[in-house]
Amino acid sequence: MKKGFIILIAFVTACSTARQPTSTSSPQHITANGKLFTAVFQQRAAEYNALCFQAYNIAKIRLDEALSKSPARPLAIVTDIDETVLDNSPYDVKQSLVGKDYEQKSWEQWTALAKADTIPGALLFFKYASSKGVKIFYLTNRAETERKGTLENLIQKGFPDAVNEQLILKTSVSSKEPRRQVIAEKYDIVMLVGDNLGDFSALFDKKPADERNHNAALSASEFGRKFIVLPNPVYGDWENTLYNYRYDLTPAQKDSVLKSVLKSY
Ligand SMILES: [Mg+2]
């Protein structure tokens, strides 16, 4: 444990020297520095891997239960892509090292590379589901311009059903609810897999933080049943909601918000 701590300190120190603040950010900002720390968790913590394995182990149990019931309609699994089946933490690290947060342009340059690794447990699970005749739908808020790189990445990694018809990209609205409903017209959706609560229900779409937490409590029995949740400490609507979905806030303004919502004693 001590050795791991020393390695972590060395890594963070290395990041500190490599970081180049821009006019819009500085190394002190939580939005840059904090994302480096959470990316260390995603990339290096065995606990992160264990949480992902846990999610996909539960998913397999639920799938086997559904398969044993001889469903009347064909079965489908609806899964998110980012931080659910593909690991984009190298993008977050690259941005944070130069004091930047997410940007659409650099994000699309990353996804076009089609080199994201897989989330632990994902590939094995989706291959298993496909072998049982279950259709996989990749329901993502990646843009249409990212279709080619996304398919290439999924195919390279060996994910089943990585075809145009089953890759459902963002349309005019970011809510996934209308796209889920289209899939549900033909299939029984066995489960939804994702890292962001909007991957599961419209109950979580663009809602204030307190309401998201309240709705998560209302949906408590669904987690580990129909809703299979992957960990994502780096980004998500859990963060966006704290800014009231104002994506134009400066890093300093975001910092003020984050510090104002933290508990201490
Ligand atoms: Mg995601």
Q: Which helix (H) or strand (E) holds 77?
A: strand 75-79
Query: Could you tell me the distance, in angstroms and rounded to a whole number, from the CA of residue 101 to the centre of ligand 1?
Result: 16
Asked whether the predicted pLDDT for residue 22 surpasses 60, the reply is: no
CA of 230 to the centre of ligand 1 (A): 9
Residue 24 confidence class, pLDDT cut points 50, 70, 90: low
Residue 77 pairs in a beta bridge with 136, 191
State the distance from the centre of ligand 1 to the C-alpha of 185, rounded, in angstroms. Answer: 24
Ligand 1 centroid from CA 145, angstroms: 17
Report the candidate in 106, 198, 104 with the shortest Cα–Cα distance to residue 143: 104
pLDDT at 251: 87
Spatial contact of 40 and 265, defined as CB atoms under 8 Å apart: no
Is pLDDT of 157 > 70? yes
The structure's pTM equals 0.89
Residue 27: pLDDT band with limits 50, 70, 90: low
Ligand 1 centroid to 159 CA: how many Å? 16
How confident is the model at residue 21, as a pLDDT?
38
- State the distance from the centre of ligand 1 to the C-alpha of 125, rounded, in angstroms: 17
Ligand 1 centroid distance, CA of 6 (Å): 31
Token pair, residue 148, equals 């080619």
User: Percent of the chain at pLDDT above 70?
Assistant: 89
Ligand 1 centre to CA of 236 (Å) is 7
> Domain 2-259 carries which CATH code?
3.40.50.1000
Mean pLDDT computed over 181-188: 97
Percent with pLDDT over 90 in the chain: 82
Find the 2 Cα to ligand 1 centroid distance in Å.
Answer: 33
How far apart CA 225 and CA 203 sit, in angstroms, is 17
Q: How is the chain split into domains, by residue range?
A: 2-259
pLDDT in tens, 112-135: 999 999 999 999 999 999 999 999
Distance between Cα 20 and ligand 1 center (Å)? 28
Average pLDDT on 163-190 reads: 96
* Cα-to-centroid distance, 237 and ligand 1 (Å): 10
Average pLDDT, the chain: 90
Q: From ligand 1's centre to the CA of 194, what distance in Å?
A: 6
For residues 231 and 237, give the distance between their C-alpha atoms in angstroms, rounded to a whole number.
13
